Amino acid sequence: MPTVAKACSHIASSPGVRMDCSSQGQCPLACHLCHMSPGPPRPAEPVLLQVTKATPIYELINNNETYQALQEALMGLLWCSGKGDVIDDWCRCDSSAFGADGLPTCAPLPRPTLRLSHSYEPSSSLVIVEWNHTEPPIGVRIVDYLISQEKVTERTDHTKVEAGESCLRHRNSFVLRFFLNQPCLEGSQPAKNPSAVSLKRR
C-alpha cells in the first residue's frame, strides 16, 4: 500500500516524533471483509503506523492558527469537560454550561473527603475534622468553599437558630490545603492555621 508508506515517511520527518512502519502480514483468507484477487501470494506490506514517542497532536501542526485552535480545543476538552475555554489557570464556561441553580457545570468544584484529624485527640465535647484535596494541576488557583453552620441558642427552643458562614480557601496546584477565613471576601488573606472544622457535640 504505497499510501501507507508515503504517510509513514512524511510523518517521520516531523520534529520530536519518530514513526515506524512495520509489516503486519496480509489479511487472512477466511476474512469475508477482504477482497483479494487470485494469484500468487504477494509480499507483506506495512499496514500499521506506530508512534514511538508520546507527543501532543497539536505539536505536529505547522500552521500557527491551526496549532493554537487545536491546542485550545484540547485544553478545553481536558480541563473544562468540553464546555468551556481554559483561560490562564481557570475555566470560562460556555453560556449553556450552567445548571438550574445558576452555578457553572463545566468545571465543578470537587467535594473534599472528611476524616478525623490525627493531630488533635477528640474529647467528650470536641471533634476535629480535616481534609486534604488533590487534583490534576492546571496551575495555581484559588477556590473558595462556603461552609454553613447552625447553632441552637436554647435547647428547649429550637426555633432560635444562628447561622454563619466560614470561607475555606486553598492554594497550591498539587496538594491543596484548606484554610478557615472569616469573612469570605475577595482579596482576603487565608488564616495561617491549617484547615480544621470543629464540631461540638451536645
Cα separation of 8 and 5, whole Å?
5
* pLDDT in the model for residue 18: 52
Q: Which helix (H) or strand (E) holds 93?
A: strand 90-93
| Residues sharing a CB contact under 8 Å with residue 15, sequence separation 6 or more, in sequence order | none
Q: Show pLDDT as tens, one digit a residue, over the chain (202 residues).
A: 333 333 444 444 444 545 555 555 566 666 666 665 666 666 555 444 555 556 666 676 777 887 788 888 888 887 888 888 888 777 888 888 888 888 778 876 666 677 777 777 777 777 777 776 655 554 434 444 444 444 445 555 444 444 444 444 433 322 223 333 333 334 444 434 333 443 333 3
Is residue 141 in some structural domain?
yes
What range does the domain containing 143 cover?
Answer: 115-199
Is residue 86 in some structural domain?
no
Is residue 63 in some structural domain?
no
* pLDDT in the model for residue 80: 83
Q: Whose CA is closest to 113, among 131, 93, 90?
A: 131
The number of CA neighbours under 13 Å toward the Cβ of 18 is 4
Q: For 131, which DSSP code?
A: -
Is residue 146 in some structural domain?
yes
Answer yes or no: pTM beyond 0.75: no
Angle 109-140-138 from CA coordinates, rounded to 5°: 70
User: In the chain, how many domains are there?
Assistant: 2
